[in-house]
């Protein structure tokens, strides 16, 4: 077997030194793992924000519905805009008032009723939103629903919470109660 040429020996030595050199290996490893790490990190942040916004909307809806339960809204002759503004003041920490849809309906007690759909299959709001508070002295069942189209930012990384369109999530809150006469 012929002896290797000096050039081959030099190339082998260069490759051995390159393979033994550990400088920069952490940077290379991080470059391989970073996209997955940041995708998971941003997905966790997005899920947390959606959950937090849903909780804020739920709490605000319950507190605003309490005005109808205790007849404060009826006694003060509150309009739909005033009830909407009350809800806005409770959720404005994270939600914009212009994006909140509010639906209040009173149904006769001890009767079957159907709650209508307020969004079509594409996530577009219908014009069926109404404000129908219970009459004074009635024992009506009141259903208060609030909706908000939450914008999503991390939808192109293989993880999507979108349920309307490609970059929005419809969050909702429903409170139902029976008004005592």
The answer to whether residue 1 scores a pLDDT higher than 70 is: no
Instruction: Identify whether 100 is part of a domain.
Output: yes
What are the structure tokens assigned to 133, written together?
């508070």
Residue 167, pLDDT score: 85
Please state, in angstroms and rounded to a whole number, the distance separating the CA atoms of residues 19 and 17. 5
The total number of structural domains that make up the chain: 1
Compute the distance between CA of residue 76 and CA of residue 57 in angstroms, rounded to an integer: 24
Q: Regarding predicted confidence, which is higher, 180 or 36?
A: 36
Q: Is residue 19 part of a domain?
A: no
Q: Assess if residue 10 is contained within a domain.
A: no
| Residue 153, SS3 per DSSP | coil
Model pLDDT for residues 105-129, shown as the tens digit of each residue: 999 888 888 888 888 877 788 878 9
**Which range of residues forms the domain containing residue 145?**
24-178
- Locus of tokens 């012929």: 2
DSSP, collapsed to helix, strand or coil, labels residue 132 as: coil
pTM, entire model: 0.79
pLDDT band, very low/low/confident/very high, at 155 (cuts 50, 70, 90): low
Residue 117 domain-assigned? Answer: yes
Q: Which of 132, 136, 133 minimizes the C-alpha distance to 181? A: 136
DSSP strand E in the chain: where?
100-107, 141-151, 168-178
Residue 59 backbone dihedrals phi, psi, to 5 degrees: -65, -45
* Within-domain flag for 83: yes
Give residue 6's region: left, alpha or beta (phi > 0; psi -120 to 50). Answer: alpha
Residue 11 lies in a domain: no
Asked, for residue 17, whether it belongs to a domain, the answer is no
Q: Does residue 154 belong to any structural domain of this protein?
A: yes
């Amino acid at each position: 077997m012929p002896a290797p040429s000096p050039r081959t020996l030099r190339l082998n030595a260069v490759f051995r030194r390159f393979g033994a050199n550990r400088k920069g290996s952490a940077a290379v490893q991080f470059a391989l793992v970073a996209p997955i790490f940041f995708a998971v990190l941003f997905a966790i942040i997005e899920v947390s924000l959606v959950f937090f916004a849903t909780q804020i909307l739920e709490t605000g809806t319950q507190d605003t519905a309490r005005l109808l339960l205790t007849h404060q809204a009826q006694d003060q002759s509150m309009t739909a805009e005033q009830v909407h503004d009350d809800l806005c003041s409770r959720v404005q920490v994270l939600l914009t008032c212009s994006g909140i849809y509010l639906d209040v309906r009173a149904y006769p007690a001890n009767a079957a009723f159907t709650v209508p759909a307020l969004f079509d299959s594409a996530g577009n709001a219908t014009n069926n939103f109404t404000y129908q508070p219970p009459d004074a002295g009635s024992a009506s069942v009141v259903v208060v629903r609030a909706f908000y189209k939450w914008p999503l930012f991390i939808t192109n990384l293989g993880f999507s919470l979108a349920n309307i369109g490609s970059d929005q999530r419809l969050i909702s809150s429903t409170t139902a109660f029976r008004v005592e006469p």
